[in-house]
Amino acid sequence: MKIEIVQLENIRSHIKSTVPFTRGFNCLVGGLGCGKSSVLYAIDFALFGEPIGRSFEYLLREGAGSGRVTIQFTQNGNTYRLTRGLRRHGKGIGQDFEELKLWQNEQLVASMKADAIAEQLKAVTGLDSDLYRAIVWMRQEHLKELLDSAPRERQKRLDELFGLSDYETAWSNIAEYQRGYETEKRVYEKDPDVAGLEKLSAEYNRVTEEFALLEVELQGAVEKLARARKALEDADAKLKKLEEKKQFIEELKRREAQVQTSIANAVDASASLTQRIEGKKTIIDNLKQRQSSIDSQVKSYNIRLAEAGIPANQSPEVLRQLLAQLDDKISSLKAEQEATLRNMQTDQKRTVSLSMENRCPLCLQPLNDEYKSGLMHRIQEENAERQKMIKQLQNELEKLQRTKAVVAEAASNLQTLTLRAEDLRVRITEEEKSLSDLLTELDAKHMFEEEQRRQLEALRFEIGRFEVSDLEAAREQSRQAFQQYSHIESDLRFKEIRKNDLLKRLDETRERIDHAQEKLERMQKIAKTVEVLGAIRDAYRSIQPKLRSEFVKVLRNFVQQVLDSLVGGEAPLLNVIVDETYTPYVKSESGVDREVSNLSGGERTLLAFAYRLGLGQLIMQSRTGHGLSMLLLDEPTESLGREDGSIDRLAEAISRFKAIEQIIAVTHSEAFAEKAEHVITLEKEAGISKISIER
């Protein structure tokens, strides 16, 4: 794992800072309180999100409502970016999970869930917070913590980091399992089924024999039941057939009653139709008589018209036209008669005037007697002619009036008689049609009655063929067959219940035998398991010291190699010895073991650094399969001085130490920073950290 960039927003004295890192030896240098260690705290928070202590008060800038840390690092050729946020809630400070995001090569792989982020991070780097804080991050004043610990505490702590404490835990847990198995074995030994397994087997054999005998009886009962079922089915089929025949006969009887009713109705309908036919005939005769009377009246009027000189069989319209002509002639004769009468009266007045005067009544000229006599004679002759004409006109007028009276009466009555005759003809036609329909219906009724009588005779013949005694016999046969079937079925059911009971007993006994066998096998396995667990516990007791001894050997070599590289050739070599409690000693040139507490401050610092570095390499190898790739140092120059060259030697050693891919150190010593490959200077202005890159 190699950190590339760390971005801090409102983290301690940092308002908004970006800190770049490179491969190799990186050094953050600056004065006291300028925000150097804040970068390391921010890295720890960004990776794991767990506070150092009870809260995040040490991390969020005072007065700020929220803060954020973003870290970008590479691992196995991939680039990862992890962001975490803080938010103030009243008096408390907690993580802002909306800011929690992990990207891999710019692709979001997890967000807002701390467990998911931790799982992804451990899968990628092999680190968790305990391992990181124990071997990767050497915090200020914690460098000599393991050296100053009591031997047993140191052993316990390092056994946990190496995973050796798991053997102790397993040894204790196996003891609990061993005791549990022994208790279970004693319970099985006292189990009644296990103790009485032979008795259970004998009981099982006895029930099996009884079950076999019952199976034979059941087979015979099943065969008898099959025969009884067949007899019952045959009897039921015969009964069903007779019942169906009875229902059929009942239906025939209902049809017989219906046919009898139909015949009676047909007889009644025929009688009613006969009466209606006779009535129709009477009506038709009456209508024809009325028609004959009208025809006689029409004939009488035609005779009178013929006598009056009018052609017979004239229509009323023609007669009305003739009346109009007669009216015109009568009017004309009356006008002519009146004109002749007026002329005659005028001539009579002239004759009286001529008899009294000798003067012309027209021109008033005087007349002689001869002319007067002749004129009067001519006037009298003309009046005589006129008198004859008036009489003749009167005779013609009377004749025309008599003719008119005959025509008028005939025209009036013939129209009425014609309409009545037409109505009578229509009614006669309708009544004759109705009579014909009634006669047809009567014939159909007679045919229907004959057909119904034939059906009645056939029905009575079919009904007479059915014997009720056959039905009663079939019912009795069906009842007896059912009783026989029920008896056999009841016996079979009883045997089946008995069989089920035996099966249940067999199953229960077999199950008890199986369980007893299982318990017996389990008991035997438990005995072996207890034996094996004892051997495993003994093995765990022997494995842990052996593994610890191997770890101690490798740790001594790692620490010696690191220490040699730190001391170099300019100072006396320190020979390191590590005992079974992981306690380091230094062997002097004279062969005397010196405890760490007897070393000088500089020697203790160098040994503590080498010890922690060696532990880190070994623990990472045992836990992840690869060595320590990153190291964070917070003020590693503790107890070192510039005068004796220890700071320079430590810095020089770190710069030469290529086994770790990236080292990030925080120091106030500019002499230490001179050996770094990448130097980041931090200063503080108005309470705000400022960052500058020197190289």
Q: What is the pLDDT of residue 229?
A: 87
Which CATH code is given to the segment(s) 2-141+599-693?
3.40.50.300
Residues sharing a CB contact under 8 Å with residue 379, sequence separation 6 or more, in sequence order: 347, 350, 351, 354
Q: Is residue 4 scored above 90 in pLDDT?
A: yes
Asked if residue 277 lies in contact with residue 438, where contact means CB atoms within 8 angstroms, the answer is yes
Mean pLDDT of 349-374: 69
pLDDT confidence band for 2 (50 / 70 / 90): very high
The tally of CA atoms less than 13 A away on the side-chain side of residue 7 is 12
Given the structure tokens 């690092």, which residue do they identify? Answer: 73
The tens digit of pLDDT for each residue in 379-398 reads 778 878 878 888 887 888 87
- Mean pLDDT is lowest, of 255-259, 357-361, 434-438, for 357-361
Q: What is the pLDDT of residue 73?
A: 95
Q: What is the pLDDT of residue 681?
A: 94
The tens digit of pLDDT for each residue in 528-562 reads 776 766 666 666 566 667 777 777 787 788 777 77
**Facing residues of 20 across strands?**
5
Q: Is residue 108 scored above 90 in pLDDT?
A: yes
What's the whole-model pTM score? Answer: 0.49
Q: What is the pLDDT of residue 641?
A: 62
Q: Is residue 177 scored above 70 in pLDDT?
A: no
Query: Among candidates 159, 154, 148, 153, which has minimal Cα distance to 605?
Result: 148
What is the pairing mode between strands 584-587 and 678-685? unpaired
| Domain residue extents for the chain | 2-141+599-693, 302-464
Mean pLDDT of 208-220: 84
Asked if residue 449 lies in contact with residue 267, where contact means CB atoms within 8 angstroms, the answer is yes
Secondary structure of the chain: what % helix, strand, coil (to 5)? 70, 15, 20
The tens digit of pLDDT for each residue in 453-485 reads 888 888 888 777 777 777 788 888 888 888 888
The tens digit of pLDDT for each residue in 486-523 reads 898 888 888 888 888 888 888 888 887 777 777 777 77
DSSP for 610-667? HHHHHHHHHHHHHHHSS---EEEEESTTTT--TTTTHHHHHHHHHHH--SSSEEEEEE
Three-class SS of residue 400? helix
Joined together, the tokens standing for residue 189 give 């030994």
pLDDT confidence band for 166 (50 / 70 / 90): low
**C-alpha angle 258-260-266 in degrees, rounded to nearest 5:** 100
In whole angstroms, what is the distance from residue 695 CA to residue 690 CA? Answer: 16
Mean pLDDT of 162-176: 65
Query: Among candidates 672, 559, 620, 650, which has minimal Cα distance to 1?
Result: 620
- How many helices (H) and strands (E) the chain has is answered by 14, 16
What does residue 81 show for φ and ψ, rounded to 5 degrees? -130, 125
Query: Among candidates 316, 318, 286, which has minimal Cα distance to 418?
Result: 316
In whole angstroms, what is the distance from residue 6 CA to residue 72 CA? Answer: 7
Mean pLDDT of 142-158: 73
- CA separation, residue 605 to residues 139, 142, 251, 597 (Å): 13, 11, 124, 11
Residues sharing a CB contact under 8 Å with residue 228, sequence separation 6 or more, in sequence order: 481, 484, 485, 488, 489
Mean pLDDT of 688-694: 90
What does residue 640 show for φ and ψ, rounded to 5 degrees? -100, 150
Q: Alpha-carbon torsion 289, 291, 297, 300, what sign?
A: negative
Tell me which long-range contacts 86-92 makes (C-beta under 8 A, separation of at least 24). Answer: 86/10, 86/56, 86/59, 86/60, 88/60, 88/64, 92/55
Three-class SS of residue 80? strand
